[in-house]
Amino acid sequence: MGGGELLIAVDGGGSGSRALVFDGEARVYASFAGPPLNYAALGRESFLRNLRALLRPALELCGGRAAGYVLSLAGVSAFRGEVEALLERELGARVWLLTDIEAVYMAAARGRDAIVVSSGTGSFAYGRRRGRAARAGGWGYIFGDEGSAYWIGRELVRRTLACYDGREECGELVDLLLRRLGASTVEEAVGKLYREYAAPSKTAELAKLACEAAVLGCEAASRVIEEAARELERMVSAVERRLGFEEPPTVYGTGGALLGCKPLAEALKRLVEAKGRMFRLSETPALAGCVLHYLSLKGLGPEELERVKVEIPPPLPTAEAP
């Protein structure tokens, strides 16, 4: 494709979405924010309604039609063929569909043989070696997501309640949680937690408290952070074994919890590098991973992709879905 043709990249998650207008040379023209695009959670009609709301201003910038779309979508693993067919009918242009995990990998590793481990609201590890791919984790907050912000927040509350009961010794953890929630008693705090923090994204917010408490020297919070790092490293090791790396691979860490919590990143780095691997943090967003994936399809290799800078501007206003 020539540099003059405009394409649209989409990063669709469970709490919101972003669209990016770019050309074949990776020049970025604008970004837009929109409603959630988790296909599994929304279903077909709500997904299409939200997608149209996100794309409306992006398509106006493209003159009404994009040359192609690169979409990273949460909740498509079990529906990939169905969603691809739906998107091709809806968009009327070439569609490249990625899972959110694949886009995060491209953003961090840029096609290299490597492993990416992510701790955001959820968690997973994903790697590629010699054309093969493997994943560990990413099974959702009910049955998995060990080491994620949600898991850390839930563990912090669980430990706090155990302390209050006298089942564990946790020092100042009870007082820290009460202050954060603006509650005077544990019973009041539990009421707030069930009313206001039942959603995984809200429970995940409590990971910040665990990190802050660990920095201040709270041993109970530090133990939660260390255990989260061990869970993440176990995912890395599982992917490494499944792909049969002959030399210790480079491991890229990403996700809001890892990037925003220094004790967690340091603990994971220590565990990863204890087995001879190199650990690096990556702040490149999944939306940039969509652009890099497109460039890889044009023939750019990992070394060339490493030199590409995808500058993502602040999102312009987008109308809510009707």
Q: Indicate the CATH number of 6-101+285-306 among 3.40.30.10, 3.30.420.40, 2.40.100.10, 1.10.1270.20.
A: 3.30.420.40
Return the structure tokens found at 233: 């490293």
Distance CA 183, CA 239 (A): 42
pLDDT, position 207: 94
Pairing of strands 114-119, 28-34: unpaired
For residues 11 and 34, give the distance between their C-alpha atoms in angstroms, rounded to a whole number.
Answer: 10
pTM: 0.85
Residue numbers in the chain where pLDDT is lower than 70 = 1-4, 317-322
Region of residue 217 (phi > 0: left; psi between -120 and 50: alpha; otherwise: beta): left
Q: What is the pLDDT of residue 320?
A: 57
Cβ neighbourhood burial of 318 (10 Å; 0-12, 13-18, 19+): buried
**pLDDT at res. 13:** 81
Token duo for residue 45:
């009609």
Query: Is 35 within 8 Å of 56 (Cβ atoms)?
Result: no
Give the pLDDT of residue 148: 93
